[in-house]
Structure 1
Amino acid sequence: MKLNGIYLTGVGVHLPEQVPLEDAVAQGDCDEAQLTTGWRAARVAGTMPAPDMAIEAGKQALARSGHTPGDIDLLLHTSTSHQGPDSWMPQHYILRNTVDREVPAIGLRQGCEGFLAGAELAACYLMASPDRTAAMITTADNFGHPLIDRYRSHHGLVLGDGGTAAVLSKREGFAEVLAVNSFSVPALEGMTRGDEPLFPPGCTVGRKITLERQATSRPGDVTPQEAVVIAGKVEAEAVRQVLDDAGIEIADITRVIHPAAANELYLEHFLKPLGVGPSHGMLEFGRWNGHMGASDLLAGFDHLVGAGDLRPGDHVMMFAVGPGMAMSYGVIRILGTPGWVAS
């Protein structure tokens, strides 16, 4: 979807303590085999609730944006793991502790592509009425709960904790969101469902989440080879469409921000069809944080902006894949250096 006049005015992050993998192995929390996979460290929040990380990131994004709470007309919160008591909705808690306005607060469960899916919905909401000014999107996860093991749920994957936020606005900001497109791939729905029964839900009976088992015990309606072909076709169309909507070519892309990964083979699968190499991605940044669920994209973007790695006129492509299967792609143009970096 081509966007008109939707800007990023502020981003915020809350990244907890960085725990080196060697320390996690020495403490008995992580198997030594993970040291060979490329991961270097994971962000570990301890007992800090995920919504509280979203609040900290949201406050920072709002302060950096130059907006007041009264400018925020929508709050979207997205996550990949449990946030608090069942039947409780964390987005209202986040709203109360950030902008504290009687505006819609909506939760999204889109997995790792939650920020981009939220950006598309927020842009539609803002463009639908001239009276609306800005929207806040927050993300957060703490994988330290008993239902998942951040180091052992999947060989080759380390999960990190963190919270991020962004303010999208119709007022001009330091970056313009040119296009965002989200896709679903129904044929691959079973890839992360595995053979686990749908009822009773696993969390209600204390069943631990084993991502590797879910990924390898999927229903047999689609073979792994067929899945690669199906996903590849959707990816190619998604890239073509988002570039067309943004009015640029792949050669115009300066950096690609993606879910955290620890090795180049993973990145090549996604970046090769784009015609760019792993050096355009966020490999090293991800290795030192772990896969932070829905927070990877904004955390990576904040890192590039804060480090001065992006200049006016640069184009950033974001992409993410979520369980189900869902894919989202977005293109952002850098317009200037934000005040919090310049100062």
Structure 2
Amino acid sequence: MRTSNMFVRSLGVYVPESVSVEQAVREGWYPAEEAEKFRQIGAAVAGDMPAPEMARLAVLDAYDRWGESSPRDLDLLLYPSVWHQGPNGWQPQHYLQKHLLGGNVPAFEIRSGCVGMISSLELAASYLQAVPDRETAMVVSSDNHGTPLVDRWRMTPGALIGDAAAALILGKGHGMAELLSVNATVIPEADAVNDGAYPLFPPDATIGIGLSFGDRHEEFRQRLLKAQGTGIHLTIQKTMMQQVEQTLDEAGIELSDITRVALPHGRREDLDGQMSWLGIDEDQTTWDYGRRVGHCGAVDQFIAFEHLLATGGLVAGDHLLMVGFGSGTSCAAAVFRVLSTSPVTTGARA
């Protein structure tokens, strides 16, 4: 979707301190041989801070650092989430309404996995474009995986699981970056990649079954061997490339115009494949940052975006490509053009 007149007004994050792989090895949480093999450095760990509270801090960061007026001026709040947010039957967006927004802002939780923040940008942009008087929307996501059903050091072989929150304010007319295009799609035939052949009822968490993608992926691999392959991984690759090509085309640029590519903070072998598909080098990716904080749910690309802006990895005129994947399986892509690395006020029209 070509997103005309859509700008990132502000970007806020909450990323707790990382626990190093060295400490994890000393404590017996992480095998020493995997530390050397997979080249991860650490994972951001939030302790007992609730995910919605991290989200609140990310929202405040977005307003404090970028000079926006008030969360109560929003026209829409979307809250993508991956892991459990609080009590069963309770929704995290209402926590932000109580503590920040008030009750006049339409607010919805989005459940589309680790691709949730990118795909929610498409929903937010569509919502704003539908009515001329709508000016701003917020997409905020947060996850604290430090629960008994997750072992952040072993849940996904080759990757570490981190905790973090990010909040992006999308608005018309001006901002520090322009959202040029965003697209999201689902690959329904890839549903079995992450389901582990588990029964749909009762849900795992209700009977105390932990989340292990390593086990699920191995179960799927065994199914592929018995079926002599399905070509599903090639389908996922082709779909990702189609999403990237469409998004770049709508943005009016080529891949050679892209300064940096923000990918999920996952396994090195996955990154190698993605770099090969896209024809990019490691220094164009956010690998060095991602392996210090871990895979943080739906916010990976956005905390990396903030990191690049803060450290000079992106400057005015640069283009950022985001690519995301969600279990299910879904994929999404978005392209931004950086306009400024400092606050842009209403008077400074794009």
TM-score over 0.5 for the alignment?
yes
Q: Secondary structure at the match of 2:325?
A: strand
Q: Matched residues in 2 for 1:301 and 1:260: separation?
A: 13
Contact map agreement 2:13 2:167 (CA 8 A) in 1: yes
Answer yes or no: is the 8 Å Cα contact 1:262–1:283 preserved in 2: no
Q: Return closer, same or farther for 1:65/1:331 CA change in 2, 3 Å cut-off.
A: farther
| CA–CA separation in structure 2 for the residues paired with 1:39 and 1:287 | 5
Hey, what's the Cα distance between the residues in 1 that align with 2:241 and 2:332?
A: 12
Superposed CA deviations along residues 54-94 of structure 1, whole A, max 9, x for unmatched, are: 11001111232523234211111112111111110111112
2:348 corresponding residue in structure 1 = none
| Aligned residue number for residue 257 of structure 1 | 262
Q: Quick one: structure 1 residues 75 and 113, their matched pair in 2 at CA, closer, same or farther if it must change by over 3 Å? A: same
| Partner-residue secondary structure (3-state), 2:260 | strand
- Of the structure 1 ranges 24-33 and 182-191, higher mean CA displacement relative to structure 2 is found in 24-33
1:50 aligns with 2:45: no
Q: How far apart are residue 152 of structure 1 and its match? A: 1.5
Trace 1:3-18 onto structure 2 (pairs within 5 A).
3-18=3-18
**1:115 corresponds to:** 117
SS state at 1:97 partner: helix
What is the distance in 1 between the residues matched to 2:332 and 2:99?
29
- State the partner residue of 1:293: 297
Displacement of 1:266 in angstroms is 1.9
CA distance 1:48–1:335, change in 2 (3 Å): same
Deviates more, 1:86-95 or 1:224-233: 224-233
**Residue 244 (structure 2) pairs with residue 242 (structure 1):** no
Query: C-alpha deviations, 1:224-258, integer Å up to 9, x for none?
Result: 56012211221221111001110101110000011
What per-residue deviation string (whole Å, max 9, x for no partner) do you get for residues 256-290 of structure 1? 01111352x32121122222122210111011101
Aligned twin of 1:226:
231
1:188–1:65 CA distance, 2 compared to 1 (3 A): farther
Q: What amino acid maps onto 2:292 in structure 1? A: W
Q: Do structure 1's residue 308 and structure 2's residue 312 form an aligned pair?
A: yes
Matches for 1:124-135 after TM superposition, within 5 Å = 124-135=126-137
Query: TM-score by structure 2 length?
Result: 0.93
Change (3 A) 1:224 1:135: farther
Q: Which amino acid aligns with 1:228?
A: H
Which whole-Å CA distance do the structure 1 matches of 2:138 and 2:44 have between them?
Answer: 24
Offset of residue 3 of structure 1: 0.4
Paired residues for 1:154-193 under 5 Å: 154-193=156-195
1:215 aligns with 2:220: no
- In structure 2, what residue type is equivalent to 1:52? E
Aligned-partner residue type, residue 102 of structure 1? N
1:268-287 superposed matches below 5 A: 268-287=272-291
Distance 1:190 1:106 in 2: 27
Question: Matched residues in 2 for 1:97 and 1:224: separation?
Answer: 51
The residue type equivalent to 1:54 in the other structure is: A
Deviation by residue 1:150-195 (Cα, 9 ceiling, x = unmatched): 0111221210011111100113001000000001111111100111
Identity percentage over the alignment?
37
Q: Deviations over 1:5-57 (max 9, x none)?
A: 01001111111121111112212222323312111111111100111101100
Q: Which moved more, 1:226-235 or 1:175-184?
A: 226-235
Find the residue that maps to 1:339 and give its secondary structure. Answer: coil
Residues in 1 aligned to 2:103 and 2:45: alpha-carbon distance in whole angstroms: 31
Counterpart in the other structure of 1:202 = 204
What does 1:39-118 align with in structure 2 at a 5 Å threshold? 39-63=40-64, 64-118=66-120
SS of the aligned residue for 1:47 comes to coil
Report 1:315-326 matches (<5 A): 315-326=319-330
Distance across 2 between alignment mates of 1:79 and 1:209:
16
Change (3 A) 1:262 1:205: closer
Q: Which runs of 5+ in 1 are unaligned?
A: none
SS at match of 1:98: helix
Give unpaired runs (5+ residues) of structure 2: 345-350
Whole-Å separation in 2 of the counterparts to 1:69 and 1:164: 15
Cα root mean square deviation, aligned: 1.7
Rate the CA distance shift 1:195–1:18 in 2: closer, same or farther, 3 A.
Answer: same
1:300 CA displacement: 0.1
Structure 1 residues 147 and 165: CA distance shift in structure 2, 3 A: same
Q: Conserved in 2, the CA contact under 8 Å of 1:38 and 1:262?
A: no
